[in-house]
A = this chain, B = another copy of it.
Amino acid sequence: MDAPDSLDRADPLAAFRDRFDLPAGVIYLDGNSLGPLPKATRARLAEVIDRHWGRDLIASWTVNGWMDLPLRIGAKLGRLLGAEPDSMVAGDSTSVNLFQALAAALALRPDRRVILSETGNFPTDLYMAEGLAALLGRGHAFRQAPADAIEAALDETVAVLLLTHVNYRSGRMHDMARLTAAAHAAGAITVWDLSHSAGAVPVDLAGSAADFAVGCGYKFLNGGPGAPGYLYIAPRHQTAPLPLTGWIGHAEPFAFAPSYRPAEGIGRARVGTPPILGLAALEVGVDLALEADIRLVREKSVRMTELFLRLAATSLPGFGIATPRDPDARGSQVCLTHPDAAAIMRRLAARGIVGDFRPPDVLRFGITPLTLRYAELWQVIAALAEG
């Protein structure tokens, strides 16, 4: 087994840690819940606040490119996530984007009534689907299948397969291309939630033939607390009706025409006035994600999760492992289980080790290759072993 110091010295991503502000004495394993602050974000926001808002005022919408932010960041996200050009937009919350995607997906399959998801999917996805189905009042039914039984559950009644690519709880990662192909073979539309994927694992939306995708900006993308989310619509679906027909998605927003006429392409997926402070911070995080080669990120992530699991297996009797053992089926997190998980996580926090407790018994550790050092994994294992 390699020594931690030599692993860190050989890490091609090591220099990225200095691009972030991390408090002294903290080992941060919660970047999959709230990514840390990129140093450049402070300067970027100061520019937007002082020079753009404070000095240029309303003119900033054009002269400082505010109006371009949703599509400009969308294009960058598209490069990160393997999307076709002009198929992504940033803005609104993940929940709102999911509502847009689901409504459009259901409209593409008007004769089908089942929304299929994974047992234990992130609840907001299911909640938003519930609200949409109740609003539509057309008798849509929900079906949930365990990860291994999703393909078998795809039949001719399924309108939409709604999946989170990497499960927030277990860290299990789906094969996007394979499940999308299975959905398409059954005549269903896919809606992928990339909240725990973007910036952490390679995603190939176009290559996977995905239909719709959404995700949040505040986890591995380091876009800041409550950062705007994003929406992907495959070019072939960009004429599907979206329900949130706001003025920024209009073909001519400043004509103030009395009736809605959508912009061409992905621009129609914009809704209200873009949230500039949140978008500016998000762009810094997305730029960092693009600057780091996602293949190197994934390589370090796999090495770190493998190492963590190996150390846990040898040093932590009494702990279970809830993350898939196969790295190809695992996102960028490690989940251990223990009957005293809540108390253990509190003790770790008192020592400056920040992870997540997920009831009833899960200790969740996010692996963020841009900021995490191999040596820190040993420290976490040691702290867990001491109890």
Q: Are B245 and A131 in contact (CB under 8 A)?
A: yes
Nearest chain B CB to A366's CB is how many angstroms away? 10
- Provide the bound-state CA to CA distance between A48 and B34, in Å: 14
Q: Are A275 and B227 in contact (CB under 8 A)?
A: yes
Nearest chain B CB to A45's CB is how many angstroms away? 6
State which of B23, B34, B54, B93 has its C-beta within 8 Å of the C-beta of A37: B54
Encode A238-277 as 1/0 by CB contact (under 8 A) with B: 0001111111001000011111100000000001111111
* Contact (A54, B127) CB under 8 Å given A224-B277, A275-B228, A359-B255: no
Give the bracket for the number of chain A residues in contact with chain B: 35 or more
- Provide the bound-state CA to CA distance between A197 and B243, in Å: 27
User: In the assembled complex, which residues on chain B have CB atoms less than 8 Å from the CB atom of A317?
Assistant: none
In the complex, which residue of chain B has the Cβ closest to the Cβ of A69? Answer: B226
- Among the listed stretches A4-12, A132-140, A199-207, A288-296, which one makes contact with chain B, having 4 or more residues with CB under 8 Å of it? A132-140
Query: Within the oligomer, what is the number of copies of this chain?
Result: 2
Nearest chain B CB to A185's CB is how many angstroms away? 28
User: In the assembled complex, which residues on chain B have CB atoms less than 8 Å from the CB atom of A363?
Assistant: none
* Contact (A247, B96) CB under 8 Å given A58-B354, A278-B275, A359-B255: no
Residues of A9-27 at the interface with B, using a CB-CB cut-off of 8 Å, are 21, 23, 26
User: In the assembled complex, which residues on chain B have CB atoms less than 8 Å from the CB atom of A124?
Assistant: 246-247, 272
In the complex, which residue of chain B has the Cβ closest to the Cβ of A119? Answer: B258
User: In the assembled complex, which residues on chain B have CB atoms less than 8 Å from the CB atom of A54?
Assistant: 21, 23, 36-37
Nearest chain B CB to A353's CB is how many angstroms away? 12
- CB-based closest 4 A-B pairs: A93-B272, A131-B245, A124-B247, A95-B272
Q: 26 interchain pairs (CB within 8 A)? A: A23-B54, A37-B50, A37-B53, A57-B354, A58-B354, A59-B354, A60-B225, A92-B92, A92-B272, A93-B246, A123-B247, A123-B256, A123-B260, A124-B246, A126-B258, A127-B245, A128-B244, A128-B245, A131-B241, A132-B243, A134-B243, A225-B273, A226-B278, A227-B275, A228-B275, A229-B272
